[in-house]
Chains A and B, each alone.
Chain A
């Protein structure tokens, strides 16, 4: 793969929390329009990779680029604003703002951060709510929504930033099984529309169906990276085989 053409480029990224090394040299490239899943055991650094891509966690060493932004060189929140506009994130615990309605959660950042026109943002927000099939919940507060509904609002909130990339951090891990499929349906639509997505997930079946490439991480390294059919059916590394043997 040509790394210069890649939308996202990580090269030998290292990160420790205190004395604990979490990322020990992660390198990966993601092309525009590509959907990449990151799988692997808990504590292998999956979520940390995502947080390094949008600058929520500063890297200790290595190179992180998203589009024209050299993330590893950014130090202040101000420098990161353009990056955050380009890269949105959806979290495991939804992380909606509890004091604002679903619609307001979606509208807040485009108005307050990007300075977009309120009327235009509201139209966009209502369209997005319709897209995640929650139009009737526009005026509900997060606490009045189920987990799956909150997560779909969170996806709409991410989309309202009109990002080039969305990072999904185990977005179905906190949901009950019957609501998982609504959320996965919404994500699948985005991937099919060609939005660049990086998904940390434990949903192996979904990873296989939706992604163009799957990366298996273990102990801070990407052990194996291949198209899903290859990685799931014919894993090369013994650690990948062991992991898949446990979860499949």
Chain B
């Protein structure tokens, strides 16, 4: 059809590459998303303490990781962490190898990048907390911690969920840049396949469709979660 040639797809080797690529992409996305959410929560929680040097540290972290290209962060992690002497001797081969694999470097840098964005998302959720809610909680005798866990956090989580969906979809797509530091994820194998077959357009169309499907599953799941968590009577909760 349209002169596109997909006969290479019948090759079990290419099928295996694609499958491995998808699995590694999913692993990288799942790992960095979870870590990003955790970093986001801890960071936003740290900001509620209103302690000067903690604020300054978190702000610095956010500025550095939000304002630089994730690809650069990944390259930086890949080339510096291994050359900084973080190497171990592989007991089976006796060779000196980097302590952190390309995959680990990609996962770490994506987690920090996503974490910086998540801190901002969670912070906005907490900071837009209506004054009235805080007053009501205080007048009922809630102390600072109980107020945060019982009232502010559950409300903030719902406020910042749409923003979090954006961050997670972006983070998912950014995993493709890990191919540059040889992480064998979907984009990496796509390159391998078209270098082998010269079927660049066909491979790109297929990979594009795979990303559309995978990211759509994510956004669909997030939309479901949003609907489930919505306050009945407000917005999606109607």
State which of A95, A108, A157 has its C-beta within 8 Å of the C-beta of B135: A95
Query: B234 interface residue, CB < 8 Å from A?
Result: yes
Query: B95 interface residue, CB < 8 Å from A?
Result: no
A84 to B138, CA, bound (A): 8
Q: Residues of A within 8 Å of B, CB-based: how many?
A: 30
| Nearest-Cβ distance from residue A37 to partner chain B, whole angstroms | 20
Query: A96 interface residue, CB < 8 Å from B?
Result: yes
A157 to B136, CA, bound (A): 10
Chain B at the A interface: mostly helix, strand, loop or mixed?
helix
Query: A189 interface residue, CB < 8 Å from B?
Result: no
Q: A98-B234, A99-B154, A108-B150 are in contact. Are A84 and B132 (CB under 8 A)?
A: no
Query: A229 interface residue, CB < 8 Å from B?
Result: no
A88 to B158, CA, bound (A): 28
State which of A78, A112, A113, A143 has its C-beta within 8 Å of the C-beta of B233: A143
Q: Are B138 and A77 in contact (CB under 8 A)?
A: yes
State which of B132, B141, B233 has its C-beta within 8 Å of the C-beta of A80: B141
Query: A135 interface residue, CB < 8 Å from B?
Result: no
Query: A142 interface residue, CB < 8 Å from B?
Result: yes
Residues of B within 8 A of A56 (CB): 135, 138-139
| Nearest-Cβ distance from residue A145 to partner chain B, whole angstroms | 8
A157 to B142, CA, bound (A): 14
Residues of B within 8 A of A78 (CB): 143
| Nearest-Cβ distance from residue B39 to partner chain A, whole angstroms | 24
A88 to B132, CA, bound (A): 15
Q: Are A161 and B141 in contact (CB under 8 A)?
A: yes
Binary A-proximity of B142-160 (CB < 8 A = 1, otherwise 0): 1110100011001100100
Pairs A–B under 8 Å by Cβ, sample size 29: A56-B139, A84-B138, A84-B140, A84-B141, A88-B139, A91-B135, A95-B130, A97-B155, A98-B231, A98-B233, A98-B234, A99-B158, A108-B150, A109-B140, A109-B142, A112-B142, A112-B150, A113-B141, A113-B142, A113-B146, A140-B232, A141-B237, A142-B233, A143-B233, A143-B234, A144-B233, A145-B233, A157-B140, A161-B140
